[in-house]
Chains A and B, each alone.
Chain A
Amino acid sequence: MTWWSFSLILTSLITFVAGQLLLKKGMELTTHSSRNARRFGSFIVGGIVAMTISFFLTLGLLQRFDLSYLYPFQGLSVVLIAIAAAATLREKITPKLAIGSLLISAGIVLVSLS
């Protein structure tokens, strides 16, 4: 694997995680006052843009690599999202949540390597 493809895989992961965080942030705004309509819109649009970038990067990568090679990296998204949600959204990560996320990630890696 070259540095170029590694950075593409990394970018597709980061944009996916960022997209989920932006969507979450946008939807959280809807539970408070209704004054935040513009901020809500920019978070949701930002989230959709990030997910779209991630989607097309993955599509391009799929043309060069096997799915069973690329999918384990998707497994990492569970752990990455837990860490990112704790860091940026101040969500609490309990030990059980951490263990469960790690198990699911490991399971996804095993499912995709066959």
Chain B
Amino acid sequence: MTSRSTRERPSGFRNPWLQLVLSVACVLVSELLLKRGASDIAHLGSSWSWTGINGLTSPLVWLAIVFVIASFITWLYVLKYIPLSIAFPLSRVVDALVPLCSWIFLGETISSRRWMGIALVVIGLAVIAKPVARMEERL
């Protein structure tokens, strides 16, 4: 079933759904690295600190930048195959994952209101992902 509208989708590593997962994972890792890196070198008194440019002295920030670039490239690849109105909402899983990982890896606390927000994001993702998964199976 490969008409022009339902384009042939590569499988294996080039599967666009796998690339979407990779893109989200890269965003997540970059956010955590940026926070770690920024905290490591924080000198709030210095006159340049408000620009964030002094963050470039941290190796973790540079590693984070590599992940940001990787997430952008994989995101472009995702856009080639998956409708924006599906890919973009799914990519917002990071809004649930970043607070969760900040809790697990950075020891930050999560308020009850934030837990509710995480739950809503997950429910919304499930509502979108379920029909998409069924549609993909049929193809």
Contacts and interface: CB of A to CB of B under 8 A. Distances in A.
Interface of A: 20-21, 23-24, 27-28, 30-31, 44, 59, 63, 75, 77-78, 81-82, 85-86, 89, 91-94, 96-97, 99-114
Contacts of A91: 83-86
Interface of B: 7, 50, 52, 75-77, 79-81, 83-86, 88-89, 92, 95-96, 99, 111, 113-114, 116-128, 130-131
Contacts, number: 121
B76 A111 contact: no
Interface of A is mostly: helix
B85 A107 contact: no
B127 A96 contact: yes
B90 to A, nearest CB: 9
Contact of A100 (B80, B96, B117, B128): B128
22 contacts: A23-B76, A27-B76, A27-B77, A27-B79, A31-B7, A44-B76, A78-B88, A91-B83, A97-B86, A97-B89, A100-B124, A100-B126, A100-B127, A101-B124, A103-B121, A104-B128, A107-B96, A107-B117, A107-B124, A108-B95, A108-B121, A111-B99
